[in-house]
Amino acid sequence: MPMRFLLLFSRQGKLRLQKWFTPLTDREKKKVIRDVMALVLARPPRSCNFLHWRDIKVVYKRYASLYFCTGLEDQDNELLTLEVLHRYVELLDKYFGNVCELDIIFNFEKAYYILDEFLMGGEVLETSKVAVSVSMENADTLQETMEEYMNRPAF
């Protein structure tokens, strides 16, 4: 039932984010990345967003220069997964303001934090866009507050 992984990669095959929801060895992860990337990048435009690889269904969607790609089990709802990918893009967009690939490259840890407020264990964690944004704001504030506090010169 859960998603098995989430990958973000560019048209040139550069990986920008990888989240794994099942335990795999480094070697296995590299194989998945290589194979799935090759399959997805070979697809002509305006293709169906679903394809099969081994025993999993791959759902992918291209947003500007980035491919958002996930692997599903046989039972899962592909159409809803497209919505999940779209929601993640919207969250990134809200956070970064007109998000582009460079934002995700230079602030990759933020992309992960946002993902972790939206998905957990391969399942959707929070279905409200607002709630995720609020959590991120609060967590960021907490981080800055702590840093300010730590950096304040001691008299």
The Cα 95–Cα 114 span in angstroms is 9
Q: Residues 66, 16: contact at Cβ < 8 Å?
A: yes
Enter the tokens of residue 107. Answer: 């602030």
Q: Does 50 bind another protein (CB under 8 A)?
A: yes
Q: How far is the CB of 98 from another protein (least distance, A)?
A: 19
Q: Does 82 bind another protein (CB under 8 A)?
A: yes
Q: Does 35 bind another protein (CB under 8 A)?
A: no
Q: How far is the CB of 55 from another protein (least distance, A)?
A: 5
| Residue ranges in 23-151 assigned as alpha helix (H) | 26-41, 78-96, 101-106, 108-118, 129-151
The Cα 126–Cα 72 span in angstroms is 19
Place of tokens 């989430």: 6
Q: Does 106 bind another protein (CB under 8 A)?
A: yes
Among 10, 78, 103, 133, binds another protein (CB under 8 A): 78
Residues lying near another protein in the complex (CB under 8 A) are found at: 1, 15-18, 21, 23-25, 30, 46-52, 55, 73-74, 77-80, 82-84, 87, 105-106, 108-109, 112-113, 116, 120-121, 123-131, 135, 138-139, 142-143, 146-147, 150-151
